[in-house]
Structure 1
Amino acid sequence: MKFLKITLLSVLTLLLSHCKDAPTITKTVTKVAVEQHTDPSGFTYETVTNDPTGLRLYTLDNGLKVYLSQNDEEPKIQTYIAVRAGSNYDPKEATGLAHYLEHMVFKGTDEIGTQDYEKEKVLLQEISDLYEEHRKETDPVKKKEIYKKIDEVSLKASEISIPNEYDKMISSLGAEGTNAHTWFEETVYKNKIPANELDKWLKVESERFSQLVLRLFHTELEAVYEEFNMGQDNDFRKAFAAMLDGLFPNHPYGQQTTIGTSDHLKNPSMVEIHKYFDKYYVPNNMAMVMVGDFEFDETIKKINDTFGALKKKEVEHPVLPKEEPITAPVVKEVFGPTAEYVSLAFRSEGIGTKEEKLLTLADMILRNGTAGLIDLNLNQKQLVQRAACFTTFLNDYGFHEFTGSPKADQTLDEVKDLLLGEIEKLKKGAFDEWMISAVINDLKLTQTQQYENNTALASAYYNAFIHHEDWKDKVAFLDELKKISKQELVDFANAFYKDNYVVTYKRKGADKNITKVENPGITPVQLNRDKQSGYLQEFMAIKSADLKPKYVDYKKEIKEEKTESGLNVAYIENKNNDLFSLNIIFDMGQNNDKKAALAAGYLDYLGTDKYSPEELKKEFYKLGIDYYVSTAADKTYVGISGLKENLDSGLVLLEHLWSNAVPNQETYAKYIDKIAKGREDGKTQKGNILWSGLMSYGKYGENSPLRNVFKIKELQAFDPQELVNKVKELKNYKQRIFYYGKDVAAAIASLDKNHIIPENLLEYPEKTTYVEKETGGNVYFVDYDMVQSEMLFLAKGSEFDPAKMAASRLFNTYFGSGLSSIVFQEIRESKSLAYAAQAGYSTASKKEDSNYVYAYVGTQANKMPQAVDAMMDLMTNMPEAEEQFNAAKEATLKKIAAQRITKSNIFWTYESLKKKGIENDNREEIYNTIKNMTLADLKKFFIENIKGETYNVMVIGNKKDVNMKALSKLGKVQEMNIDYLFNYEKDDTNVKL
């Protein structure tokens, strides 16, 4: 590890407040200063003293900021290219522009993505002119005529363009996570690349950001509109936008959504998009962030040789409106099909202010997930269904938001008053003195864990750039929090939290503001899979340094010891820091005992003969220890994690709870009420209905693990003492240990002392087995109030066979996943039928289960028949594109070569493999098999495993909009009752069409 230098001294400092007496945290402030350096090639950079991340911050001559940090744990580099350009800076008459531009930056340049740019640009100019004409036209009939002309010219232009060339090049590198996002003040482009592909990545990215070409414009615009429709189907997004509107009645934070308005999306200006790119996509308004396996000196030289060629321009961001103080509560209401909740938001100052520090601390005192005021007084006592708070800080302003979901017998106003009540406790100083020390340590632990992760660290860097933060201030931030006294925090709370909030009521009901649009009838554009630009040919000819895969010898890497009582302890040393996790594993779960999950969940609300539930949470928090008891289908886990020095104290506390939990009938009644309300709320979530309810029914029918649940009346009749006994009796069953951390001897000694078990352990109860039924000829439909419709096709394949893992992995890369896959190109790029579309061959997680063929599409309801036809055609007739296959093959091999299984993941990966009946690192076999595969081999795999499969089709959509006649062509349509899907008690029958 090069960048993570957590010293023993820093960890000991964390421990100062984690003892029983909880003394005040040390006031010693670590020295933080910026130092200037020059490398051997003459590049100057800044570092910050006592920076655990080892950042080098360069500024090129053209103004580009370059954030570099090393981590050689795996041969990969997390990259971000960040631009200070977001929806705040959209012209008022063209909202959504920054986001749409983000999509178009993937379309290539005058060299990437074209067969003949000189011919193509004439047609692109004609399209741009037509859009300006379309934008100005007010007559709907004439607008349609212009759009038809746009479609005609776009088809001609597509004969010259070559879609997805950027995606093909990036995929060929073995890149992961290729994407981008736009928000208020930022647009950020993302890739995680193998370290040996840095040169090629820099080449293509510097070309990509050198010029904007708006090809394939109207098809991508339709994809963005589908993204807009997804937002209309997302009640949380709508409530969030309403809250922002209340907080910021003048500022773009509240007045310009990132996605833009429907009218602006349907009336775009290519001229305005070019202006925006030319204004903001300049090096002195951009940053490159790289965290991973590279050498500093040679890397900055390569960056300068590529991105250093971009021309600097003066950048002036618009002056944005200021907000007047909020002097009385502002009320907002949002309607939709999902469960009700209420939010309160208080506007604050922005990043870099004293308010940011004070609110960060206040937020953690109120809610830290364990011992905050909201945690203990609302969630632990089950006074609401759930409650939380969080902070958001931006350049100009920030806000502190509180959210609460009601119990079955509560109004939203009652939840609101309970949240305000916890704020009042903060204002009165009704929290323990030691909490300030503890929450700072909690933040430090979280930061330590984040800095172990390349992606999280790189995200922290680009956020610092976007928000104009000096990295030294980020390094010093937690030390600054140490200076805040309880009295100062209380005084701030009294001044800050008044009747100056926005309250947003998310209510159940029809949304009258939904925008529904016609299918524009786009003519599918040419994909030209057999064509390549000269740039692509040159790019593919570049040879990168070879990168060899590294495989894991699991039996060597996972050491084993035994406790005095004979329990097996598998362990892996944590070489990075002094954090640990200790896991007691029982190879039985809910399939062995339906009450297991119920009992585990109940334990979280209980105290003991020594501690109340709230006191117990506080004791764990003082120690910096998290504990858990959880169940899966075939496993139960009991464990703790946190600071190694407090392992023994944490285990003492866990064992005390385990052995001395005291049931409480009132608490149990509230717990069952919470489960009942959770079921009701879950029935309103379309994702839960599709991916849980419908998918499970499509695989198993009536006899599914999802439907094997207790009815609420059954739960109410249980004796809570029985559930507590069930948890206590876990110790009597066979078990094993996994420890990740330092000093395994100390961990085993603690287990010997504290984890007392019987001499003879019990065998596990017999487990329930569920039979996967044959698929085909069934359409399961749920009526749901939404703009889009979503469809999942599922076909049962053969029983799990390790020999198919290589071909299925390559098939998925080539055919159904990723921006350069066949499905994405056909459904979205060519035909504009969906924002999201994917397909693939899914291998089972257990050797006795079946593999599945699946396909998914989410689209506007009036496009659904076309989308279904397009998807089913692909699932029957796989297009054969030799060059695309070779790129997919190369990408798959490079991802395997760059993958490193490390730390505790070694153990958990091995656990997963053993469930499949595999005892070795089978990536070696997969790699060698793929290396020798041809397109003919993949075609054979397709014919034998995908072509001709019969599907159960799961559909969720608005019955008023969905073409039910078209659905009936796919099989027998059954409209599913949601209670029946999940086997809840309101109605245990199903409605059939």
Structure 2
Amino acid sequence: MKIFNSILLLLIITTLGSCKNTSSETNPSNKIKTEKHTDAQGFNYETITNDPTGLRLYTLNNGLKVYLSKNEEEPKIQTYIAVRAGSNYDPKESTGLAHYLEHMVFKGTDEIGTQDFEKEKVLLQEISNLYEEHKKESDPEKKKEIYKKIDQVSQEASKISISNEYDKMISSLGAQGTNAHTWYEETVYKNKIPVNELDKWLKVESERFSQLVLRLFHTELEVVYEEFNRTQDNDFRKLYSAMLEGLFPNHPYGQQRTIGTSDHLKNPSMVEIHNYFDKYYVPGNMAVVLVGDIDFDDTISKVNDAFGHYENKEVLHPALPKEQPIESPIIKEVYGPTAESVAIAYRSAGIGTKEEKLLTMADMILTNGKAGLIDLNLNQKQAVQNAGCSPTFQNDYGFHRFSGTPKNGQTLDEVKDLILEEIEKLKRGEFEEWMISAVVNDLKLTQTRQYENNTALASAYYNAFIHRQNWEDRIKFLDDLKKITKQELVDFANSFYKNNYVVVYKRKGEDKNVVKVQNPGITPVELNRDKQSEFFKEFSNLKTQPLKPKFVDYKSAIKETKMDNGLKVSYIENPNNDLFSLNIILDMGKDNDRNATLAAGYLDYLGTDKYTPEELRKEFYKLGINYSVSAGSDITFVGISGLKENLDAGLSLLEHLWSNAVPDLETYNKYVDKIAKARQDNKTQKGTILWEGLLSYGMYGENSPLRNIYTIEELQRVDPAELVNKIKELKNFKHRIFYYGKDVEAAVASLNKNHLINNELADYPEATSYLQKETGGNVYFVDYDMVQSEMIFLAKGSQFDPKKMAASRLFNTYFGSGLSSIVFQEIRESKSLAYSAFSAYSTAAKKEEANYVYAYLGTQANKMPEAVDAMMDLMTNMPEAERQFNSAKEATLKKIAAQRITKSNIFWTYEGLKKRGIDYDNREEMYNTIKNMTLADLKKFFNENISGETYNVLIVGNKKDIDMMALSKLGEVQEMDIDFLFNYEKKNEDIKL
């Protein structure tokens, strides 16, 4: 399946037709129309005929849009509150304003987050006045003096405020995914709540969006600056920004980054933020989206009670600059430590235009992850390391972005030219006509999968709102795509893809534009976690009908049958649609045979005695069938998925490939080169270095699963014929089958016909074992060119014990994860020492393995000593806050009560439990244990399992900026060689980070 960026994926979701029936005969465009209704309570709403999502779109009297859709599969509601307010509308002198406002909306109102607002508002006004002075002052020393005053007054104000009260209330509902995001034209606030908590959620959100109070301003500003630093450490974002600057030399898409500029972040105006909120956060510019187990009439009445009293104002979004056509290629370069790549982008018309439809089709013809021109001619043939493309559409403009990374010895210009040649093939019409209908079917498959998910559907709704799209037009989108002819697409390609592109070269090297930031020396603010506002007290007294948890009887939910040859088939019926997945499972993997992952990857590039590799991919794509062969450490999957009607043909094709794959030496040599280049690229990714290389070394030392790999020289000596035989011999080992879909009998009949095996199946080779080493006294450091520093504290705990799962889950909620957790409050909210800080007691995935305690910090190098001290103090002495504990306990219980394990997840969840030696749904035990736990019990768990642990400290950062003497206090500092961490061979031209 093609990997889309998040925005494209949401757009595709919004374009799709029926979940239940995707045929044009039963859902023709001329039968799709908007109908208006009035319910018994007098609320007006719209529906779309033949809408598979069942949307009711209401407009309240004050202009607020309310999108409602019903799905009873789980007792939860995905909620979004969307505002047509993004960085496009930031004042030019205050970029980053919309995004910073998003952060501040979590801080409360005159009722939420305060002990005495009348006293607090006097101090907040003083802080606002000081910021206005600070912004106007040009003398650096005088600015510092003003900032000191801001810090002093902020300390006084913090004595009255109550940190994170909003999140405490929302968490107490059992909410998940509490967050928000800001982009060019939108700010969206997110929660997924249990259905019985709708009233309380509405009470909080109604109050939250009624007004803006900018409390705890300077500490949150420092947090946003840490977020700014993270963007400076992200080479992809730098490339993306440069691409947009070239595409949009006048429009805010290219000229105003959502995060803002360094200078603007240093000189904020609370007055301007208030003005922005008052202008855009009004009913006619907002939408409430609720998708889940709701009653329409009851829900709209409650939403109206919560938001209907808001006073509307007319919103005039600013007229934004128009762009002139691009007449010749625009060339940009960015630098950073990660692997080199190239991006090519063409500017297009915006969402809702004819060009959006044509470009969507062109994009899928070029790359769909299976049989597109770039898929077959560049990726399948390994002509480049990898390449792809995806479109993005916004209100005013869109763009089609192509990307590629080079093979060893290949230049970025060579990659660019290869991509441009595939575009030329599209312009020449060098694709088969059946591809157009196959693309539409592929998009329908994507739609069917996505519309089963409340979050994806709710995202589609808010995107339609933000982009001012009629839902009717989105429902018709695929029918419109069907009408596109090959000639029309070719004509479009010839008029659209000319020398009118922006090309950005991402080169390795030092970025000269990095902004170094001083630590402003913020005095930690008061958290007052033991305090509650009057609003919180009233909120807490609201009673809701509790949800009863539902637990799974796995042994009855997972049914079994057998093939004629006696092979066991586990199955679960798909109650929703005609999609299926079928997996042949071998309980062996790379730990049993190092060739497993190597062979699985090689198969993807092979053909058979009947089909070339390209023909084979086309055959699968025609059927709408995805196939995969993958190997993990202890498991291997061979499987297919797609439409049930094509299961037999798809399985026949898979078995043909499995039995008749033909080795090819040239293909294998390219495959080895690809592996070598991927290893070199891995070494340039700080996330890979930290969360794979250092983490694995911190757990296992030299004898780790990560380091147990073939050298490139060893790979070059492998006979590809032996590798193909290894794949063919897989079916001679013991294996089992899991089927999710309808018509189990037909699936088994197809297996009987196509999956032919020996009468006696072999046992698995013995698995390599890896010893988890004791931790403590070691600091493993990798020097990397970055602004922030990232570190993990890692401590090996006791062997897995299912009795600890309840306490660990409650501990993680209370202590280490979420906006109202102890770690987040202390490290980020009070002290502004990190953008990201979390901790967890991690339970092992297998019964014979150890649990781990870990903590993470992402912070400026000049804040690291303070941040480390703060984190280590917390990991040694757990703060005890009774009210916060009770809220965490309530939240944890509600999450379990609202959780439903359904569909194929029943099987995969049970697989995970069995690895831990558990053969039943242990959530019931966890629920009852947590229900009876006290803060004293949690403290006891902390003292026995966390406090006093000795840590390996894993760090990626810039050696020039880090206080190495401070690090030595944590243990013996060892600067690690990246090749050694991953067990890669060194080369003369190895990259210096």
TM range (shorter): over 0.9
C-alpha deviation, 1:186, in angstroms: 0.1
Tell me how far apart the structure 2 counterparts of residues 151 and 126 of structure 1 sit (CA, whole Å): 11
Contact kept, 8 Å, 1:331 with 1:502, in 2: the verdict is yes
Contact kept, 8 Å, 2:814 with 2:888, in 1: the verdict is yes
Give ranges in structure 1 of 5+ residues lacking alignment. Answer: 15-25
Structure-1 residue corresponding to 2:178: 178
Structure-1 residue corresponding to 2:371: 371
Structure-2 residue corresponding to 1:904: 904
Tell me how far apart the structure 2 counterparts of residues 514 and 7 of structure 1 sit (CA, whole Å): 48
Q: 1:10 aligns with which of 21, 41, 46?
A: 21
- What's the % identity of the aligned pairs? 78
C-alpha deviation, 1:4, in angstroms: 15
C-alpha deviation, 1:12, in angstroms: 5.5
Deviation digits for residues 261-297 of structure 1 (CA, Å, limit 9, x no counterpart): 0000010000000000000000100000010011000
Question: RMSD of the TM alignment (CA)?
Answer: 1.4
Report the residue type matching 1:392 in the other structure.
T
Structure-1 residue corresponding to 2:486: 486
Structure-1 residue corresponding to 2:11: none
Deviation digits for residues 95-120 of structure 1 (CA, Å, limit 9, x no counterpart): 00000000000000000000100000
Tell me how far apart the structure 1 counterparts of residues 67 and 530 of structure 2 sit (CA, whole Å): 39
Q: Call closer, same or farther: CA 1:987–1:804 in 2, change over 3 Å.
A: farther
Contact kept, 8 Å, 2:332 with 2:503, in 1: the verdict is yes
Tell me how far apart the structure 1 counterparts of residues 537 and 879 of structure 2 sit (CA, whole Å): 22
Contact kept, 8 Å, 2:27 with 2:50, in 1: the verdict is no
Spell out the pairing of 1:414-433 with structure 2 (5 A cutoff): 414-433=414-433
Contact kept, 8 Å, 1:4 with 1:53, in 2: the verdict is no
SS in 2 for 1:211: coil
Report the residue type matching 1:553 in the other structure.
D
Report the residue type matching 2:240 in the other structure.
F
Tell me how far apart the structure 1 counterparts of residues 241 and 486 of structure 2 sit (CA, whole Å): 34
Deviation digits for residues 566-604 of structure 1 (CA, Å, limit 9, x no counterpart): 110000000100000000000000000001000000000
Contact kept, 8 Å, 1:5 with 1:52, in 2: the verdict is no
Tell me how far apart the structure 2 counterparts of residues 673 and 707 of structure 1 sit (CA, whole Å): 19
Tell me how far apart the structure 1 counterparts of residues 281 and 565 of structure 2 sit (CA, whole Å): 65
Spell out the pairing of 1:328-367 with structure 2 (5 A cutoff): 328-367=328-367
SS in 1 for 2:242: helix
Structure-2 residue corresponding to 1:554: 554
Q: Which moved more, 1:717-726 or 1:34-43?
A: 34-43
Report the residue type matching 1:361 in the other structure.
M
Structure-1 residue corresponding to 2:805: 805
Deviation digits for residues 960-984 of structure 1 (CA, Å, limit 9, x no counterpart): 0011000000000000000000001
C-alpha deviation, 1:27, in angstroms: 11
Tell me how far apart the structure 2 counterparts of residues 846 and 640 of structure 1 sit (CA, whole Å): 27
C-alpha deviation, 1:985, in angstroms: 1.2
C-alpha deviation, 1:11, in angstroms: 4.4
Deviation digits for residues 605-653 of structure 1 (CA, Å, limit 9, x no counterpart): 0000000000000000000000000001100000000000000000000
Q: Call closer, same or farther: CA 1:210–1:8 in 2, change over 3 Å.
A: closer
Contact kept, 8 Å, 2:15 with 2:476, in 1: the verdict is no
SS in 1 for 2:499: coil
Structure-2 residue corresponding to 1:20: none
Contact kept, 8 Å, 1:889 with 1:931, in 2: the verdict is yes
Contact kept, 8 Å, 2:775 with 2:950, in 1: the verdict is yes
C-alpha deviation, 1:30, in angstroms: 5.5
Structure 1 runs of 4+ aligned residues shifted over 3 Å read: 3-9, 11-14, 26-30
Structure-2 residue corresponding to 1:269: 269
Contact kept, 8 Å, 1:364 with 1:372, in 2: the verdict is yes
Spell out the pairing of 1:146-157 with structure 2 (5 A cutoff): 146-157=146-157
Structure-1 residue corresponding to 2:6: none
Contact kept, 8 Å, 1:554 with 1:910, in 2: the verdict is yes
C-alpha deviation, 1:305, in angstroms: 0.4
C-alpha deviation, 1:433, in angstroms: 0.6
Structure-2 residue corresponding to 1:75: 75
Tell me how far apart the structure 2 counterparts of residues 171 and 413 of structure 1 sit (CA, whole Å): 51
Structure-1 residue corresponding to 2:604: 604
C-alpha deviation, 1:28, in angstroms: 5.5
Contact kept, 8 Å, 1:128 with 1:271, in 2: the verdict is yes
Does 2:146 align with 1:135?
Answer: no
Spell out the pairing of 1:231-310 with structure 2 (5 A cutoff): 231-310=231-310
Report the residue type matching 2:402 in the other structure.
F
Does 2:86 align with 1:86?
Answer: yes
Spell out the pairing of 1:467-866 with structure 2 (5 A cutoff): 467-866=467-866
Tell me how far apart the structure 1 counterparts of residues 418 and 523 of structure 2 sit (CA, whole Å): 55
C-alpha deviation, 1:10, in angstroms: 2.5
Contact kept, 8 Å, 1:30 with 1:479, in 2: the verdict is no
SS in 1 for 2:58: strand
Contact kept, 8 Å, 1:371 with 1:621, in 2: the verdict is yes
SS in 1 for 2:284: helix
Contact kept, 8 Å, 1:4 with 1:451, in 2: the verdict is no
Report the residue type matching 2:476 in the other structure.
A
Structure-2 residue corresponding to 1:18: none
Deviation digits for residues 393-420 of structure 1 (CA, Å, limit 9, x no counterpart): 0000000000000001100000000000
SS in 1 for 2:200: helix
C-alpha deviation, 1:29, in angstroms: 4.0
Report the residue type matching 1:499 in the other structure.
N
Report the residue type matching 2:950 in the other structure.
T
C-alpha deviation, 1:545, in angstroms: 1.1
Q: Call closer, same or farther: CA 1:408–1:274 in 2, change over 3 Å.
A: same
Report the residue type matching 1:702 in the other structure.
E
Contact kept, 8 Å, 2:15 with 2:478, in 1: the verdict is no
Structure-2 residue corresponding to 1:985: 985
Tell me how far apart the structure 2 counterparts of residues 934 and 157 of structure 1 sit (CA, whole Å): 33
Tell me how far apart the structure 2 counterparts of residues 6 and 234 of structure 1 sit (CA, whole Å): 37
Scaled by the length of structure 2, the TM-score of the pair is: 0.97
Spell out the pairing of 1:891-970 with structure 2 (5 A cutoff): 891-970=891-970
Structure-2 residue corresponding to 1:324: 324
Contact kept, 8 Å, 1:837 with 1:856, in 2: the verdict is yes
Give ranges in structure 2 of 5+ residues lacking alignment. Answer: 1-13
Structure-2 residue corresponding to 1:21: none
Does 2:397 align with 1:397?
Answer: yes
C-alpha deviation, 1:6, in angstroms: 8.9
Structure-2 residue corresponding to 1:381: 381
Structure-2 residue corresponding to 1:99: 99
Contact kept, 8 Å, 1:4 with 1:452, in 2: the verdict is no
Tell me how far apart the structure 2 counterparts of residues 601 and 719 of structure 1 sit (CA, whole Å): 15
Spell out the pairing of 1:450-469 with structure 2 (5 A cutoff): 450-469=450-469
Q: Call closer, same or farther: CA 1:755–1:129 in 2, change over 3 Å.
A: same
SS in 1 for 2:31: coil
Tell me how far apart the structure 2 counterparts of residues 67 and 985 of structure 1 sit (CA, whole Å): 56
C-alpha deviation, 1:5, in angstroms: 13
**Number of equivalent positions:** 976
Report the residue type matching 2:21 in the other structure.
S
Report the residue type matching 2:921 in the other structure.
D
Report the residue type matching 2:918 in the other structure.
I
Scaled by the length of structure 1, the TM-score of the pair is: 0.97
Contact kept, 8 Å, 2:175 with 2:194, in 1: the verdict is yes
SS in 2 for 1:309: coil
Tell me how far apart the structure 2 counterparts of residues 805 and 285 of structure 1 sit (CA, whole Å): 45
Contact kept, 8 Å, 2:17 with 2:476, in 1: the verdict is no
Deviation digits for residues 827-848 of structure 1 (CA, Å, limit 9, x no counterpart): 0000000000001100000000
Tell me how far apart the structure 1 counterparts of residues 40 and 50 of structure 2 sit (CA, whole Å): 23
Contact kept, 8 Å, 1:6 with 1:577, in 2: the verdict is no
C-alpha deviation, 1:42, in angstroms: 1.0
Spell out the pairing of 1:11-30 with structure 2 (5 A cutoff): 11=22, 29=29
Structure-2 residue corresponding to 1:32: 32
